């Protein structure tokens, strides 16, 4: 089965994990397994556990990584169809309580955007959906037709940085009084009508920011990230590393602040210095985020907004 997706910051993400033979690794966002394949090529033995909440990613991995799954080749791969918010619990089911490395490549995969029926893209007409996990009940149709005007405006502003969030929210509420907004193209039309003509001519597609915002809300993308990173840090063995690729500033802020929290020690109130024995949990491998090379920027448009942060468990 084909899974057309070009991995971003491929070598930077995996090489910075410094993979060790025989180690246990986690790919929190398996997708098409581009990062996974490269990691597996660097290990002569060991284990990789790949998480994805998207059934299509899991199904394609079953056929594309069959040899690793059956154990015909070393190292072995195991797949988990679940949200990475259940990291610790799912690893415990596999008898794993410590890992040597984990990486996250956040956001959507190309098939999610390119398969019209997934309803993620303003480029194709489809039912409003945008669920990464097809078994989830809540979808973009429900969000667009059930959130009140303020909730809609808040989502568009917070997750899409959409300047015209209030105008778009008002127009959505007006329109759905007549009939429910069912498709991506209906929503695109409403967004276009809500944005003043002059503003529509500059920047990218007028629906880009709103679609991104709705997707983030539908999939609770920011809600689950920090707790999962904290679980991952707790699971890492000493010397183990965590790499995280983000594609938008709110995600990057969560990663940066979580790494900061665990790489600095707080001086307890009333104490002049850090008492002996209190040590940070993490060491930052790179102070500034790693971004794509000129070559990658030229080849892969998605790499433009990518930022990679890496830390090591002490
Ligand atoms: C950018 S793609 C990963 C691509 C992959 N690294 C590769 O090289 O092919 C992100 C994937 O993560 C999955 N995903 C996003 N958030 C998730 C979450 N909270 N839990 C599990 N999977 C998630 C998506 O379904 C998608 O398949």
Per-residue pLDDT of 90-123, as tens digits, reads 999 999 999 999 999 999 999 999 999 999 999 9
Is the beta carbon of 32 within 6 A of some atom in ligand 1?
yes
Q: What is the pLDDT of residue 207?
A: 97
Q: Which residue out of 109, 222, 306 has the highest number of ligand 1 atoms within 8 Å of its CB and is therefore the one to mutate?
A: 109
Task: Give the atom of ligand 1 at the shortest distance from the alpha carbon of 10.
Answer: 8
Instruction: Say whether pLDDT at 274 is over 80.
Output: no
Instruction: Say whether pLDDT at 256 is over 90.
Output: yes
Instruction: Say whether pLDDT at 75 is over 90.
Output: no
Cα 167 to ligand 1 centre (Å): 32
Residue nearest to atom 13 of ligand 1 (CA): 29
In the DSSP assignment, the letter for residue 13 is H
Least trusted range by pLDDT, from 143-157, 229-243, 264-278: 264-278
User: Distance (Å, rounded) from C-alpha 61 to C-alpha 80?
Assistant: 11
- Output the CA–CA distances (angstroms, integers) from residue 33 to 66, 84, 216, in the order listed: 12, 15, 22
Is the beta carbon of 224 within 6 A of some atom in ligand 1?
yes
Secondary structure of 116-149 in the HEC alphabet? Answer: HHHCCCCCCCCECCCCCCCCCCCCHHHHHHHCCH
Task: Give the atom of ligand 1 at the shortest distance from the alpha carbon of 82.
Answer: 21
Q: What's the distance, Cα to Cα, between the start and end of the chain in Å?
A: 41
pLDDT band of residue 313 (cuts 50, 70, 90) is very high
- Output the CA–CA distances (angstroms, integers) from residue 70 to 32, 34, 119, 228, in the order listed: 18, 19, 34, 28
Instruction: Say whether pLDDT at 272 is over 80.
Output: no
User: Distance (Å, rounded) from C-alpha 190 to C-alpha 178?
Assistant: 13
Q: Which residue out of 7, 13, 31, 217 has the highest number of ligand 1 atoms within 8 Å of its CB and is therefore the one to mutate?
A: 31
Q: What is the pLDDT of residue 271?
A: 77
Instruction: Say whether pLDDT at 221 is over 80.
Output: yes
The mean pLDDT of 57-64, rounded to a whole number, is 97
Nearest Cα neighbor of 62 from 74, 45, 50 is: 50
- Write 78-82 long-range contacts (CB < 8 A, 24+): 78/47, 78/48, 78/49, 78/50, 79/30, 79/49, 79/50, 79/51, 79/52, 80/49, 80/50, 80/51, 80/52, 81/52, 81/53, 81/55, 82/51, 82/53
Nearest Cα neighbor of 106 from 157, 26, 30 is: 30
User: Distance (Å, rounded) from C-alpha 29 to C-alpha 53?
Assistant: 8
Cα 245 to ligand 1 centre (Å): 11
Q: Which residues contact 246 (CB under 8 A, 6 or more apart)?
A: 106, 107, 252, 255, 306, 307, 309
> For the chain, how are helix, strand and coil distributed in percent, rounded to 5?
45, 15, 40
Percent of the chain with pLDDT over 90: 90
pLDDT band of residue 153 (cuts 50, 70, 90) is very high
Instruction: Say whether pLDDT at 163 is over 80.
Output: yes
pTM of the model: 0.95
User: Distance (Å, rounded) from C-alpha 261 to C-alpha 276?
Assistant: 19
Is the beta carbon of 65 within 6 A of some atom in ligand 1?
no
Sign, CA dihedral 149-106-86-310, equals: negative
Task: Give the atom of ligand 1 at the shortest distance from the alpha carbon of 34.
Answer: 8
User: Distance (Å, rounded) from C-alpha 160 to C-alpha 261?
Assistant: 26
Identify which has the larger pLDDT, 35 or 74. Answer: 35
């Amino acid at each position: 089965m084909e899974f057309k997706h070009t991995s971003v910051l491929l070598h930077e993400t995996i090489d910075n994990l410094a993979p060790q033979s025989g180690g246990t690794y986690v790919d929190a966002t398996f997708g098409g397994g581009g990062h996974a394949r490269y990691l597996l090529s660097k290990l002569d033995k060991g284990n990789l556990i790949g998480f994805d909440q998207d059934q299509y990613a899991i199904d394609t991995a079953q056929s594309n990584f069959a040899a690793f799954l059956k154990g015909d080749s070393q190292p072995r791969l195991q797949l988990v169809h679940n949200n990475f918010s259940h990291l610790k619990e799912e690893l415990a089911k596999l008898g794993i309580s410590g890992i040597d490395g984990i990486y996250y490549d956040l956001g959507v995969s190309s098939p999610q955007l390119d398969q019209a029926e997934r309803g993620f893209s303003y480029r194709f007409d489809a039912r409003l959906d945008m669920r990464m996990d097809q078994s989830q009940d809540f979808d973009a149709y429900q969000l667009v037709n059930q959130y009140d005007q303020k909730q809609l405006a808040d989502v568009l502003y917070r997750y899409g940085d959409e300047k015209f969030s209030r105008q778009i929210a008002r127009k959505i509420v007006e329109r759905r009084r007549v009939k429910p907004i069912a498709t991506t193209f209906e929503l695109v039309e409403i967004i276009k009508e809500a944005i003043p003509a002059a503003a529509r001519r500059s920047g990218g597609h007028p629906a880009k920011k709103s679609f991104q915002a709705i997707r983030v809300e539908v999939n609770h993308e920011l809600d689950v990230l920090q707790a999962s990173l904290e679980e991952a840090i707790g699971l890492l063995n000493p010397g183990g590393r965590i790499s995280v690729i983000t594609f938008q500033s709110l995600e990057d802020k969560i990663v940066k602040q979580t790494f900061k929290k665990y790489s600095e020690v707080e001086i307890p109130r009333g104490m002049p210095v850090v008492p002996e024995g209190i040590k940070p949990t993490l060491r930052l491998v790179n102070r500034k985020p790693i971004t794509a090379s000129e070559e990658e920027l030229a080849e892969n448009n998605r790499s433009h907004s990518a930022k990679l942060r890496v830390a090591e468990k002490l």
